[in-house]
Structure 1
Amino acid sequence: MERWQFFSLIFLYVAVIGMAVLLVANRHQARQLFVELQTLEKERDRLNSDWSRLKLEQSTQLHHLRIEQRARESLKMQKPSTEGIGVIRE
């Protein structure tokens, strides 16, 4: 075996081992990114759920405000004063 063939063989072994290490590192990074993706998707789902709940609460509050406004304007209703509030006991 000639000298250049020996160095070529050594170079190929080092290259193969280097590529194997890079492959393992790449797989590890891909797994870490997948775990992070799943965590972020869970957070997104939780935030979407919170957003839906808040939108529902907002529409409920707006509905109550509309009812109160209509009662004041159309029916000329008012909130009673503290003197006008009484407790009925049986």
Structure 2
Amino acid sequence: MQLTVKLVGPLSRFLPSGSEGGITKVDAEAGLTVSDLMKKLGLPEDIKCMISINDDLVPIGERQSRTLSDSDSVKIIPPLKGG
């Protein structure tokens, strides 16, 4: 299956070289979880971020059990700061 993955801001450093606009296509095996995808991208396990699949937010507690499907669009966003 193929996923579209967007890493926002400083997280884009984890994208493969040649990725443009913070977006890459990822070929993955069926049954891949959000947590598995994070490992595949080389993201640290303890990284603080928000993740959405097809614009639906994935709670932290569901990352290890939520499986991805072909053509899913995954966004990984660092914590937002402001004041």
Q: Tell me if both proteins adopt one fold, taking TM over 0.5 as the criterion.
A: no
Computing the radius of gyration from Cα coordinates, the structure with the larger value is: 1
TM-score category, normalised to shorter length: under 0.3
Structure with the larger helix share: 1
Structure showing greater relative contact order (alpha-carbon pairs closer than 8 Å, 6 or more residues apart): 2
TM-score (norm 1): 0.13
